[in-house]
Amino acid sequence: MNFWAPGTSAPGVDREYEDEGIYVVNDTQSRLSIDQQRRSLPIYKYRKEIIYAVETSHVVIIQGETGCGKSTQIPQYLFEAGWSDGGRCIICTQPRRIAATSIAKRVAEERRCVLGEEVGYSVHFDYNFNRNGKLTQIKYITDKELLREMTRNPLLNQYSVIMVDEVHERSVDNDILLGLLKKIIRKRQDLRIVISSASLDVKLYKRFFSDVEYMDKNDTLKPYTIMTVQGRQYPVDVFYAASPVPNYVECCAATAISIHNSTIRGDILVFLPGEDEVEACKEVLIERSRSLRLRNGQIWVVTLYNSLPYAEQRKVFQPTPRGFRKVVLATSMAETSISIENITCVIDSGFETVTIYNKTVNMNTQVIQPISKATAQQRAGRAGRFTQGQCYRLMTEEDYEKLEKRGKPEVMRLLLCEAILLTRQLGIQNLDTFDLPSEISSSRYYIALKVLNLLDTLDTPNYTINTRGILVSQLPVDTQLASFLLFAREEGCEEQALTIAAFSSISHLYKEEPKDHEEKNEYEKVMGELIDERGDQFTYLHIFDFLLNPPVEEGETPIHRTLASLTGRDVSAFCAQWYLNPMAMKKMLEMRQQFKYFLDLLPEEAVQSLHSEAEAREAAERSGDEKVMHCLIKAYFKNICKLASNGSYVPVNLLNDEGSNEGNIDVEVYEDSVLHMIRRAHNWVLFKDISLVDGICIRDVVSVNPLMVARTIPKFYKQLTGTEEAVAPGPQLPGPQLPGPQLPGPQLPPAGVTGASHMGMEDRLRDIFRF
């Protein structure tokens, strides 16, 4: 793989070095005292200007280059200027929990205080700050957690300055937070807002905050001040691919090996679009590092992505062992906020995974797309934080010039179910018309209302959030998964739901099929015992049961394990026997523990209030598997496909009142699904996710009985038959009715109800569904 810098012809990574010994460069400031380190940061010379701007302006917009020190230093400057006196607090928001916690830890070190006292943090279900006695004066918090805090304290009276960091990411939470802060400063002219980023759109925020009508007509503060802070500490040389890259995962690994063999200093940060690509690149790197003769020591591969357990994410901050070079394989999580020491080289794949709303399937779907120029600049800046760095872009310079200037804000590309639930608690009834930096699509807004309506999270007549909606919004997962877990707790199948949710959060569960003939036969035999032909969700339960209660030969003593007694050795041995990936299984167990922790924090009294006595009796009559399917249907009612004549599946759009599926697209079952592995096609299936990353594929797929769907979600019958047969009254669909065509169609009776009309309907359904 050859790279070149514009204006030169020399390749960027194939240089030979006479000295092949390893020399690892640590933070060049590490030998300085903390005070000297702070004064050496580029932002230090702007200290007085920042304090003056905050004193004289309602809003301060700071464009500060990567590494200038804005996230750690601005709150401290304001603290030192007295903005936290009198029991007040300076707060700084971050897009992710790992950023909030790691920056808070660093600032506490600089303040020479215990984390949780003068300096603290607050992220979802985890906080470390002082609420009693001497209050915490500098607090780092995630955007979403501050929004949740506003449900209890709408005007945020205890805060004197709110700094919204990394606004360039344009997340839903970030935009909503800025919209709310714009409202708050009309009433609270003592509050100051600081917004910052290395690559923010200055004109956008200048426009957004220029029309605030303050309640105090004698107000003398400037509406906003704009500042630019120079200061990447060290230059970064950028190299482009000499020709288009055929496989960016392979090329990222090859480039990392080449850099390792040809340079003698610093660690490497590789940007890849998603978790699958990170794990695939890790496998390639480890395999190549074993098979090749490496110069300059060994490679230590560390990964970073959103679904990785928090303890695993923290490993990126661990010092590189002596004799090793650290290679961090990361998604966009590593672009901003967090600082990984000793990174001198960045390899940029040029791609990212984003979630977008796809109107054909009425879902948020993941796609891999080229990054923007702003993102490319953010990534390159990671290489110049501690010494002169290099960035290798796996794209030609011509392709780079074709990139969009900035990415599209989330509010313009997502179905905003989670945001609606959260803002309803804040009294925002019409999020689609609320004043935000970017407008929300009204059509997507009303589709989201339909989804929330059918999930029973809103109440009539004003579609206000109800108890279920509040509980769902407290779980840090998407609305459908949160609903599934909550339904399962009510239904009495919480343990099964936790297992399914945990398995659905991992990838690469199954090892590849062996090529050796004998081993292949053993593999097929094992998989035959492991797999449940109904689909992935029941296979997950089967695997989990085998893990705790391993099958034994006749006459052997049965083994019964508990989760508490399960050891890493037990998991590794189990995976070796059943051709499963031990890392994936261990991650599944960690995710299950996390989900259980989040679910157990919900107030039991509120959860119990969701279930009527009649519903409890109905649930008691269902078998364990029926309970699981009932909860899956209630949560994923819009994720249903029917088998097409060509062998693929067609999504059934239950949110389309005409009953048609716009575009009539075909989807395939993802290759990791057991239904794909055993080549089993069911007439009707339910799925958890749909991805556009590698074709149009559905994941976590299970066969579903459409009669059960029709009883659980009555609109399903009308959608597929186009008729409204008169039937005996059945269970009513919870939730309010939206204007226009009624959401629920005719009601089906529960199982066991007899009658001529009902039997006729059953026959009609059986004919339509090809039983």
Nearest-angstrom CA–CA distance, 1 and 13: 9
Label residue 153 exposed, middle or buried (CB < 10 Å: 0-12, 13-18, 19+).
Answer: exposed
Which residues lie across from 329 on neighbouring strands?
A: 270, 303
CA angle 600/605/611 to nearest 5° reads 100
Residue 728 is predicted with a pLDDT of 32
Nearest-angstrom CA–CA distance, 43 and 69: 6
CATH topology of domain 236-407: Rossmann fold (3.40.50)
Mean pLDDT of the chain: 85
Stretch 135-143: mean pLDDT: 95
Nearest-angstrom CA–CA distance, 141 and 624: 41
Residue 496 is predicted with a pLDDT of 98
Residue 157 banded pLDDT, cuts 50, 70, 90: very high
* CATH number at 34-229: 3.40.50.300
Structure tokens at 136: 């915490």
Stretch 186-211: mean pLDDT: 94
Percent of the chain past pLDDT 70, that is, above it, reads 87
Nearest-angstrom CA–CA distance, 449 and 420: 8
pLDDT in tens, 452-487: 988 999 987 778 899 999 999 999 899 999 999 999
Is 698's pLDDT higher than 80? yes
Range scoring the smallest mean pLDDT among 3-12, 188-197, 230-239, 350-359 = 3-12
Q: Which residues, including other chains, have CB under 8 Å from residue 402's CB and lie 6 or more apart? A: none
Residue 696 is predicted with a pLDDT of 86
* Cβ atoms < 10 Å from Cβ of 678: 14
Is 321's pLDDT higher than 80? yes
- The residue among 134 and 211 whose pLDDT is bigger is 211
Q: What is this structure's pTM?
A: 0.82
Residue 43 banded pLDDT, cuts 50, 70, 90: very high
Nearest-angstrom CA–CA distance, 333 and 214: 37
Per-residue CA distances from 564 to 559, 560, 567, 578 (Å) = 15, 12, 8, 22
Residue 21 is predicted with a pLDDT of 28
Range scoring the smallest mean pLDDT among 13-17, 153-157, 367-371, 374-378 = 13-17
Residue 336 is predicted with a pLDDT of 80
pLDDT in tens, 706-755: 888 888 887 665 555 555 543 333 333 333 333 333 323 333 333 333 33
Residue 734 is predicted with a pLDDT of 35
Q: Which range in 100-104, 383-387, 748-752 is most confidently predicted, on average pLDDT?
A: 100-104
Q: Do domains 34-229 and 236-407 have the same CATH topology?
A: yes
Stretch 680-694: mean pLDDT: 87
Torsion of CA 189, 191, 192, 193, to 10 degrees: -110
Residue 719 is predicted with a pLDDT of 55
- The residue among 310 and 72 whose pLDDT is bigger is 72
Can you give the C-alpha Rg of the chain in angstroms? Answer: 28
Residue 618 banded pLDDT, cuts 50, 70, 90: confident
- Among residues 40, 31, 22, the alpha carbon closest in space to that of 266 is found at 22
Residue 654 banded pLDDT, cuts 50, 70, 90: low
Stretch 266-274: mean pLDDT: 95
Nearest-angstrom CA–CA distance, 72 and 140: 10
**Total residue count of the chain as it appears in this document:** 771
Q: Which range in 68-82, 419-433, 681-695 is most confidently predicted, on average pLDDT?
A: 68-82
Structure tokens at 673: 């699904």
Question: Where do the structural domains in the chain lie, given as residue ranges?
Answer: 34-229, 236-407, 417-463, 475-553+560-622, 637-724
Residue 73 banded pLDDT, cuts 50, 70, 90: very high
Is 306's pLDDT higher than 90? no
Cβ burial 47-74 (10 Å sphere, 16+ → b, else e)? beebbebbeebbbbbbbbbbbbbbbbbb
